[in-house]
Amino acid sequence: MTLAPSPDVVERRPNRFLGILRALLREPIGCTALVILTTVLLLALLAPLITQYDPLFQDRRAVLKAPSLAHWFGTDDIGRDVFSRVLYGTRISLLVGLLVVTFTMIIGGMIGLISGYFGGWTDMIIQRIVEALDTLPSLVLSLFIAAMLGPSVRNVVIAVTLAQIPRFVRVVRSEMIKVRAQDFIAASRVIGASSLRIMLTHGVPNLIPTMLVMGSLSFGIAIMTEAALSFLGVGTPPPNPSLGTMLAQGTRFIGIASWLIVFPGLMLTISVLALNLIGDALRDVLDPRRR
Amino acid sequence: MTRHFTPPTRAARFARSLLAGALLALPLAATAQETPQYGGLVRINVHADAPNFDPLASTEFAVHSRLGLALSQLVAWGTGPDIAYGEFVPTPSLAESWEISDDGLTYTFHLRHDVVWQDVAPVSGRGFTSADVVATYEAMRAGGVQGGLLSAVDTITAPDDYTVVLTLSSPNVVLLQNLAHQNMWILPTEAFDGGYDRNTTVIGTGPFILTGDEAGVATTYVRNPTYFGHDAAGNQLPYLDAVEITPIRDLNARIIAFRSGQIDIWFGPLNLTQMAQIQAQVPGLQDIQTISNTQTEMYLNPAFEPFSDIRVRQAINMAIDRMAMGEVIRGGGAVGGVVGPALSTQTLPDDERIALYGTPNPERARELLAEAGYPDGFTFQFTLLNYGEEMVREGEWIQQDLADIGITAEINIVDRAAGMALGREGNFEALYMVMSPFAEADEYLSTHYIPGAIRNYAGVDDPELTAMIEEQRTIGDPAARQAMLWDIQRYIAENVQTTLPGWASLLLHPAHARVHGWHPMMTQGFPSLREVWVSE
């Protein structure tokens, strides 16, 4: 269920986001998750200031060194600093997540709006395509697309976005159908508002809460999928650090250098957990039935 | 003068074995002094089932590694503690001796008189004759997958029941090795006249009789009591009563089976980390290591302008620290060569190979780049074929080495089939891949450096080099041929410098402590198994 639509709500949009943030901070789980995510974000953004090591530089005199003061998370099998690689790898994960969520919201949101608003044949054709895509598990679909396009960050973003779009389309469409049935939509039509104007001025603002929840959950899924694709060798190409690639490489040394999988694994787990908890908290904050 | 080959006498072989035994390391010396015992079972893993048993239908390792226990060749790979993994020592098998004419065009093989086929219907233990050899080789030439190995042969005749004569249209010194190839098993005439189905029935003259094959379970063998082979002391071979080949596809399942003693001899891929984990759990494990008969290699396409200048190719060669790369990433092995280091008598001596390919000199590399007009380096696409994590690691290692001299290598990982296609089309700048396993220097040279050859991805077309490669095939004297092969490799290092050899990794062949006399060899079919025995 969405917030009650009203022109007032649209006009007070800036305050609304602050309101959501305040409500989120009042939720213990949401607040904790937000703090964790902010920390992860700062670590990733400020990586060049936090670590002195180039994540690609191979110190060949320090191969497979255990965590120490010199190398907080140890070094990998060709002497690269794991702490540095985890931070830069998190950057790539967050970048992929951000781009995927942005593109998914824009593309999936637009298709869902059109499908829900116009209905009829337009809706039927879009939904059959979406259903066809939905029959494939999103990871399999991403894997297929990424394998076809070849390993690169750009291709990972394309693969994960395409796999996430159907979910957005379905949710946005169903919300738009509800909004379309409201009296103010009929009133807008009567005074001559175009379909585009109705969708943008009445549809989009009423879909924001749903999109926020979906976006935070998709962010986590995108990070996990990027890691999975990199783990399987079709994601972020070497030598760029990626949490998934680091996990794949670390499995060879699990018995003798556990730090190679523990730290990337922890960072991945913490990031995705924080995003999922924020998604849950947002749902609680924004859903009147759960208040 | 006609060259003769006759096997050493039993006494001489015994003396040679004693000498070889004396050279063994202390841990092995204790084993060597023990008297072989008859009886027992040995189990080996081969990570695939055999789709059929027709040696003419397929070159699959799963087929020929199984056939090797039951079948024999005319000439075999010698095995033993004094013979290296990749060293081809022509050894009598069904032929007890042979002569090669002075012009190198006629090979006369004298067959053993004491060989009988295994007692399996319809052949049922009849004597082996030259008619079986002629029938087999003619069938191979007519439609066998191994027909190319006999391409130099003009006629195959049998003057009597125990003599076979092969005539060649031009000299080819690798013919003996071709006859000892892992696909060149001799079958009875009944295999070609409809007497039995080669796909399902195996009748040979080898040390073991194939008694059963259940897909996914085991291929079973029992001792062939009429096998012609004897050990150096004159004892009848084989020692084992039975052998089982167990097809376990999953690597972890294979490791568990080996650790728990369900497999006695390991066959197939295994890395050092996995080996360390097995060693920690299996007491007395035999850690047998050899150098792989494959190596990584880097093709530099002269169609990409910087690589058309040999000074740039030399600079790249000098920038790469292969020795450290091999030690850190592969945990050991040997620096590669134009001819791989596993072929210990044909590759350049270690010192020279290390000087050419294992001694980085970044300062000189930078000078060469400047002389070639690239003082600030350049950027190229470095295509890696996806052979696994260690391959990617080598690519990353080379990337940093090249960055040190100002060259930026942008790594692009592709699957193997796509990479091969890029190579064939010449659609690459630099290609990094694993070389096919070769057992002869001629295979390395003729596939990489002859115009139009299957692996000549770099488009090498050097008439002088081509003439040298063709000439070495005609040199019958082993020492003279070795000198020629070394000259060719030096010429390539100085004048061609593509393909750049990388690293030949270690191959691990662990076996349980109860297994004795096991000597892994490059060729398929487990040739040393006939002399394996177990101590319990």
Q: Classify B334 as helix, strand or coil.
A: strand
**Alpha-carbon separation of residue A8 from A148, A193, A248, B119 (angstroms):** 48, 18, 52, 98
Mutation pick from A54, A60, A240, A251 vs chain B, by most beta carbons of B within 10 Å, is A60
Residue B3 has pLDDT above 70, yes or no: no
Nearest to A261 by CA among A275, A274, A251, A270: A251
- Beta carbons within 10 angstroms of residue A170's beta carbon: 20
- Beta carbons within 10 angstroms of residue A197's beta carbon: 12
Chain B CB contacts of A55 under 8 Å are: none
Amino acid A2: pLDDT: 46
Counting residues of chain B whose pLDDT is more than 70, the rounded percentage is 94
Contact (CB<8Å) B328/A56: no
To 10 degrees, what angle do helices A204-231 and A138-149 make?
A: 60
Higher pLDDT, B12 or A198: A198
- Nearest chain A residue (CA) to B271: A252
Q: Is the dihedral of CA B64, B65, B67, B69 positive or negative?
A: positive
C-alpha angle with apex A105: A37 to A223, nearest 5 degrees?
Answer: 40
**CA of A245 to nearest chain B CA: how many angstroms apart?**
10
Distance (Å, whole) CA B516 – CA B523: 20
- The per-type count for chain B, helices as H runs and strands as E runs, is 16, 21
Q: Where are the alpha helices (DSSP H) in chain A?
A: 7-11, 13-26, 28-45, 47-50, 82-103, 109-118, 120-134, 138-149, 153-180, 183-190, 195-198, 204-231, 243-250, 259-286
Report residue A280 as tokens: 């849950």
Residue A199 has pLDDT above 70, yes or no: yes
Instruction: Give me the mean pLDDT over the B13-21 stretch.
Output: 43
User: Which tens digits make up the pLDDT trace of B88-107?
Assistant: 899 999 999 999 998 889 99
- Nearest chain A residue (CA) to B384: A238
Chain B CB contacts of A252 under 8 Å are: 271, 273, 389
Q: Does A67 touch chain B (CB under 8 A)?
A: no
Chain A CB contacts of B396 under 8 Å are: 58, 78, 238-239
Contact (CB<8Å) A255/B397: no
Residue B2 has pLDDT above 80, yes or no: no
Is-contact B164 B129, C-beta < 8 A?
A: no
To 10 degrees, what angle do helices B251-259 and B272-281 make?
A: 30
Cβ partners under 8 Å of residue A194, min gap 6: none
Instruction: List the single residue in A58, A248, A253 with the smallest CB-CB distance to B397.
Output: A58
pLDDT tier at A234, thresholds 50, 70, 90: confident
Residue B26 has pLDDT above 50, yes or no: no
- Beta carbons within 10 angstroms of residue A265's beta carbon: 17
Contact (CB<8Å) A60/B328: yes
Higher pLDDT, B19 or B227: B227
**Exposed e or buried b per residue across B517-534, where buried means at least 16 C-beta atoms within 10 angstroms of its C-beta:** bbbbbbbbbbbbbbbbbb
Chain B CB contacts of A239 under 8 Å are: 396, 399, 411
Instruction: Give me the mean pLDDT over the B50-66 stretch.
Output: 90
Q: Classify B95 as helix, strand or coil.
A: strand
Cβ partners under 8 Å of residue B228, min gap 6: B112, B114, B115, B205
Chain A CB contacts of B251 under 8 Å are: none
Distance (Å, whole) CA B178 – CA B148: 9
Residue A7 has pLDDT above 80, yes or no: no
pLDDT tier at B326, thresholds 50, 70, 90: very high
Contact (CB<8Å) A78/B328: yes
User: Looking at this protein, which amino acid is placed at residue A272?
Assistant: V
Contact (CB<8Å) B413/A238: yes
Amino acid B443: pLDDT: 87
Residue A186 has pLDDT above 80, yes or no: yes
Instruction: List the single residue in B389, B411, B413 with the smallest CB-CB distance to A249.
Output: B389
Q: Among A2-6, A257-261, B133-137, B197-201, where is mean pLDDT lowest?
A: A2-6
Phi and psi at residue B247, to the nearest 5°: -85, 105
Chain B CB contacts of A57 under 8 Å are: 400
Chain B CB contacts of A65 under 8 Å are: none
Counting residues of chain B whose pLDDT is more than 90, the rounded percentage is 70
**Which value does ipTM take for this structure?**
0.79
Is-contact B498 B302, C-beta < 8 A?
A: yes
> How many residues would you count in chain A?
291
Amino acid B35: pLDDT: 87
Amino acid A162: pLDDT: 93
CA atoms within 13 A of residue B333's CA, in its CB half-sphere: 31
Distance (Å, whole) CA B6 – CA B91: 9
**Exposed e or buried b per residue across A206-238, where buried means at least 16 C-beta atoms within 10 angstroms of its C-beta:** bbbbbbbbbbbbbbbbbbbbbbbbbbbbbbbbb
Average pLDDT, chain A: 88
Q: Dihedral angle at the C-alpha atoms of A189, A193, A197, A198, nearest 10 degrees?
A: -20
Q: Among A11-25, A170-184, B382-396, where is mean pLDDT lowest?
A: A11-25
- Nearest chain B residue (CA) to A253: B273
Instruction: List the single residue in A56, A78, A237 with the smallest CB-CB distance to B329.
Output: A78
Pick left, alpha or beta for residue A192 (phi over 0 → left; psi -120 to 50 → alpha; otherwise beta): left
Residue A5 has pLDDT above 60, yes or no: no
* Residues linked to residue B511 through DSSP beta bridges, in sequence order: B265, B286
Identify the residue whose tokens are 């050279």: B23
Q: Find the helix or strand (DSSP H, E) in which B134 lies.
A: helix B130-143
**CA of B388 to nearest chain A CA: how many angstroms apart?**
9
User: Which tens digits make up the pLDDT trace of B266-291?
Assistant: 998 888 878 888 888 888 899 999 99
User: Which tens digits make up the pLDDT trace of A44-64?
Assistant: 999 999 999 999 999 999 999
**CA of B396 to nearest chain A CA: how many angstroms apart?**
6
Strand ordering across the sheet containing B106-111? B3-5, B95-100, B106-111, B163-168, B153-160
Which residues of chain A from 234 to 263 reach within 8 Å of chain B, CB to CB?
237-239, 248-249, 252-253, 255-256
SS3 content of chain B, % helix, strand, coil (to 5): 35, 20, 45
Instruction: List the single residue in B328, B399, B414 with the smallest CB-CB distance to A239.
Output: B399
**Alpha-carbon separation of residue B149 from B26, B132, B178 (angstroms):** 41, 18, 6
Contact (CB<8Å) A78/B393: yes
Q: Among A204-213, B28-37, B110-119, B293-302, where is mean pLDDT lowest?
A: B28-37
Predicted structure pTM score: 0.79
Phi and psi at residue B384, to the nearest 5°: -105, 130
pLDDT tier at B463, thresholds 50, 70, 90: very high
**Alpha-carbon separation of residue B258 from A126, B264, B274, B534 (angstroms):** 55, 7, 12, 16
Instruction: Give me the mean pLDDT over the A123-143 stretch.
Output: 90
Average pLDDT, chain B: 90
Amino acid B25: pLDDT: 40
Contact (CB<8Å) A238/B411: yes
Does residue B188 have a cis peptide bond before it, meaning omega lies within 30 degrees of 0?
no
Contact (CB<8Å) B413/A233: yes
Amino acid A14: pLDDT: 55
Contact (CB<8Å) A252/B413: no
Report residue A194 as tokens: 């175009």
Report residue B434 as tokens: 């694993």
As to burial, measured by CB atoms within 10 angstroms (0-12 exposed, 13-18 middle, 19+ buried), residue A110 is: middle
Residue B19 has pLDDT above 60, yes or no: no
- Nearest chain B residue (CA) to A63: B328
**DSSP character string of B347-385:** SPPHHHHHHHHS---HHHHHHHHHHTT-TT--EEEEEEE
Cβ partners under 8 Å of residue B248, min gap 6: B45, B47, B254, B257, B263
Chain A CB contacts of B324 under 8 Å are: 60
Residue A23 has pLDDT above 90, yes or no: no
User: Which tens digits make up the pLDDT trace of A128-137?
Assistant: 999 998 888 8
Report residue B476 as tokens: 């019958």
Q: Find the helix or strand (DSSP H, E) in which B12 lies.
A: helix B10-23
Pick left, alpha or beta for residue B497 (phi over 0 → left; psi -120 to 50 → alpha; otherwise beta): left
Residue A288 has pLDDT above 80, yes or no: no
**CA of A104 to nearest chain B CA: how many angstroms apart?**
27
Instruction: List the single residue in B277, B392, B395 with the smallest CB-CB distance to A255.
Output: B277
Mutation pick from A53, A77, A246, A261 vs chain B, by most beta carbons of B within 10 Å, is A77
Identify the residue whose tokens are 């410098």: B497
Nearest to B297 by CA among B497, B506, B61: B497
Instruction: List the single residue in A151, A239, A256 with the smallest CB-CB distance to B273.
Output: A256
Chain B CB contacts of A78 under 8 Å are: 328-329, 393, 396-397
Amino acid B22: pLDDT: 41
Q: Is the dihedral of CA B270, B273, B278, B279 positive or negative?
A: positive
Is-contact A267 A114, C-beta < 8 A?
A: no
Mutation pick from B270, B385, B389 vs chain A, by most beta carbons of A within 10 Å, is B389
**CA of A53 to nearest chain B CA: how many angstroms apart?**
15
Contact (CB<8Å) A77/B324: no
